[in-house]
Structure 1
Amino acid sequence: MAETVSAALRSWSVRWPAYAPMDVTPPELLPTALTRHVPAWAEAAATPADVTDRGRRRDTALVPYELDARVWPLHPQGRIGRTGRNLGRWGENAAADPIVVAGTGQDRRFCSSPATTSTWRPASGGMVDRGETAPAALVRALPEETSVDLAGHRPGILAQAIVDDWRASGHAWVASASALYLLPAAVTATAADDALDAQWRPFGPLGQRDTEITAAGRILYAAHRPLL
């Protein structure tokens, strides 16, 4: 991310009057379109100034961020060369990524599933629902998508960090709470929802997993590579 902005100009505190980021807002989220119809996955606010709970959003954010003079949220990593909104919410769009590992030694496995028809992910997570906390979403996500029940298992939080998402802009981005669940043994993972072909895979060197996934005609989902 931020490949179009040099490190010297990335900080919001650096004056850059000529900054002209590309607007990534799709037609259905333009102000005129929102007056006619609001997609189920998006909020109705045409601009960040129309958001009424900006204080609560900042208080509960996984990654702290600032507002500018217009009360527009500012990407925690600075300018990234894009503006507008191509995500459901202005500011942080929280996600939850549970990484589930079962067994020990050579019998250790991790639960994985396709992210898209061309990418593979090491867990089945998703966006945090409105009014939901990231920890609650971690527990909800896997049973919904793979039937692996995490209730009663206490996770270890791996990170709360910005996700490198192609939809992100300087005013709307994705941050993920990732957590590690260690189970004594693998349990049945039955695919459901969007996590088709969920399965337990051997836990080993990342290079070996890359080779296997590539052989299957997919690539490892980039945002989940650091988690593995």
Structure 2
Amino acid sequence: MEATSYAPVDHPGVTVPEDRRHWSVIWPEYAPVEITPPELRPLELAAHVPAWAEGHPTPDHVRDWAQRQAAALVPFTLDERGWPLHPHGRTGRTGRNLGKWGENQAADPIVIAGTGAHRSVLLITRDDIGVAAIPGGMVDPGETAPAALVRELREETGIDLSDQRPVILGRQIVADWRNTDHAWVASTSALYRLPEQVTATAGDDAADAGWFPFGSLAQLETAVTAAGRTLYAAHRPLLLRALEHLNH
């Protein structure tokens, strides 16, 4: 029997005051919540490693931290144990609910159709948490972010934009619901522009795919709510960045 006590993987974690978030602040009483799902716990990994994950039960088993740090979208450091530290500080949660320890790179294509009052954005409904989100996902091992943008878009919406060169909007940490102190998501977000809407067909990790009015974030959220969904909070900053670029 494992000694570690695990909370549900969607547990919000302990509350971290802003003045204690940075890793340089000494906080001996800090006790983050362990949220590793069953399939990524040591005993389960010893028996079977999921195809989407690495088999290291803890960061101690990782041997290529220098390479991972060099390739990171957002720089990160290691603690005295050699464990990776979330670049934005303490999250209130520990363990791993992602494929890798440290940074997990994602690609988020933001597809816009039309201009002015007729402008719309392509969103999917995620089948894991049921929210409206940008179609995107994790970069596969050996894959580049540009290739992942095209692949994820095609897999989740049926739209192939491999003949287009998008505008890279940024590379940043995403407030993903699976983030912990030692495993997190960093994304390359990119903007694609189409003259008009094209047919989108949900596939892969999408329960639905469709176009929503995108004159402003408020307009988008109203339309998403009217459709009986909520907008994925982690994607709001990416969509705001797209709007800033479009309205510049």
- Give the alignment's TM-score, normalised by structure 1: 0.91
Quick check: 1:30 aligned with 2:30? no
Between the aligned partners of 2:131 and 2:210, the Cα distance in structure 1 is: 15
Between the aligned partners of 2:189 and 2:28, the Cα distance in structure 1 is: 37
Quick check: 1:111 aligned with 2:127? no
Corresponding residue of 1:171: 182
Unaligned runs of 5+ in 1: none
Cα drift, residue 3 of structure 1:
6.8
Between the aligned partners of 1:138 and 1:4, the Cα distance in structure 2 is: 34
Corresponding residue of 1:40: 51
Quick check: 1:90 aligned with 2:115? no
Q: State the SS of the aligned residue for 1:45.
A: coil
Between the aligned partners of 1:21 and 1:87, the Cα distance in structure 2 is: 17
Corresponding residue of 1:13: 24
Could you report, residue by residue, the CA deviation over 1:128-166 in whole angstroms, capped at 9, with x for unpaired residues? 111212222112111122121111211111221111122
Number of residue equivalences: 227
Between the aligned partners of 1:188 and 1:27, the Cα distance in structure 2 is: 38
User: Retained in 2: the 8 A contact 1:2–1:79?
Assistant: no
Between the aligned partners of 1:201 and 1:214, the Cα distance in structure 2 is: 11
Quick check: 1:195 aligned with 2:210? no
The verdict on how the C-alpha distance between 1:8 and 1:203 changes in structure 2, with shifts beyond 3 A counting, is closer
Give the alignment of 1:55-204 within 5 angstroms: 55-116=66-127, 118-121=130-133, 123-204=134-215
Segment drifting more, 2-11 vs 155-164: 2-11
RCO comparison, higher one (Cα < 8 Å, 6+): 1
Q: State the SS of the aligned residue for 1:112.
A: strand
Pick from 186, 205, 210: which aligns with 2:216? 205
Q: State the SS of the aligned residue for 1:152.
A: coil
The verdict on how the C-alpha distance between 1:197 and 1:35 changes in structure 2, with shifts beyond 3 A counting, is closer
Between the aligned partners of 2:38 and 2:152, the Cα distance in structure 1 is: 30
- The alignment yields a C-alpha RMSD, in angstroms, of 1.9
Letter in 1 for 2:59: P
- Give the alignment's TM-score, normalised by structure 2: 0.84
Between the aligned partners of 2:232 and 2:18, the Cα distance in structure 1 is: 26
**Where does structure 1 differ by over 6 angstroms across 4 or more consecutive aligned residues?**
none
